[in-house]
């Protein structure tokens, strides 16, 4: 699959062409204590502790979607908000997505678990150069629905994760991503622990320029036959 982009005054509008590489950067926490908390919450679900951090997982580009519904085969999947980097038209762009993951599969093979679910992304991206001067002001949030109520699931500054250019350098050995490469850049600890929801909503807010990018999707579980 390729992801085509239309340039507009408000950023980049994602369509469905021009994406050539999809990368999930894991364990990118800047604060060792916060990183340890995230590792611990996944360990509680049976996920093995990483041998090194960060780790980069290549995922099929067909998993990227701007759709509003994904289908899964397990009741043990959950989303997690991440800022997303994309190189397009020779520029670096910033957006937001959800690294939706099968937590059951994650307990025996993290790489395989990353391939099992689609990766929803919001269809708008901002030019990195516009937000770089006030990068630390950007905020990430996600919400789930529990007992019919919208509940704050994750919230925090993008500074919880490594600086974008540092993460890129660790992956490529240089300051830039290849054209058409999209990278998910790490997540925040979940309030109340990692858990599934039939609805996941996520956003990135830029309070300095008074704007936000948000997206919402539903999760449909397919029938399972043993």
* Stated pTM of the model: 0.89
pLDDT digits (tens, 9 = 90+) for 139-192: 999 999 999 999 999 999 999 999 999 999 999 998 789 999 999 999 998 999
CATH 3.90.850.10 fits 5-221, yes or no: yes
The enclosing H or E element of 13 equals strand 11-14
- Strand-pair category, 149-157 with 139-146: antiparallel
Rg (alpha carbons) of the chain, rounded to whole number: 16
Contact 139, 156 (CB under 8 A): yes
Which pLDDT tens digit goes with each residue over 53-101?
789 999 998 899 998 999 999 889 999 999 999 998 889 999 999 999 9
What is d(CA 9, CA 7) in angstroms, rounded to the nearest whole number? 7
For the chain, give every domain's residue range.
5-221
């Amino acid at each position: 699959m390729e992801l085509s982009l239309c340039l507009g005054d408000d950023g980049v509008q994602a369509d469905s062409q021009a994406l050539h590489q999809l990368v999930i950067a894991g364990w990118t926490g800047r604060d060792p204590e916060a990183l340890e908390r995230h590792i611990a919450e996944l360990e509680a679900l049976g996920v093995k502790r990483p041998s090194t951090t960060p780790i980069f997982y290549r995922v099929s580009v067909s998993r990227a979607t701007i759709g509003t519904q994904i289908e899964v085969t397990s009741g043990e999947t959950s989303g997690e908000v991440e800022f997303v980097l994309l190189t397009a038209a020779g520029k670096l762009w910033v957006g937001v997505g959800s690294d939706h993951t099968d937590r059951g599969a994650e307990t025996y093979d993290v790489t395989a678990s990353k391939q099992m679910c689609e990766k929803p992304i919001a269809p708008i991206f901002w030019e990195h150069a516009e937000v770089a001067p006030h990068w630390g002001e950007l905020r990430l949030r996600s919400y789930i629905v529990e007992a019919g109520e919208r509940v704050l699931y994750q919230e925090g500054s993008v500074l919880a994760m490594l600086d974008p250019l540092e993460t890129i350098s660790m992956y490529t050995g240089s300051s830039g991503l290849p054209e058409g490469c999209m990278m998910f850049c790490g997540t925040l600890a979940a309030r109340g622990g990692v858990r599934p929801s039939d609805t996941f909503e996520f956003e990135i807010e830029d309070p300095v320029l008074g704007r936000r990018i948000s997206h919402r999707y539903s999760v449909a579980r397919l029938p399972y036959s043993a």
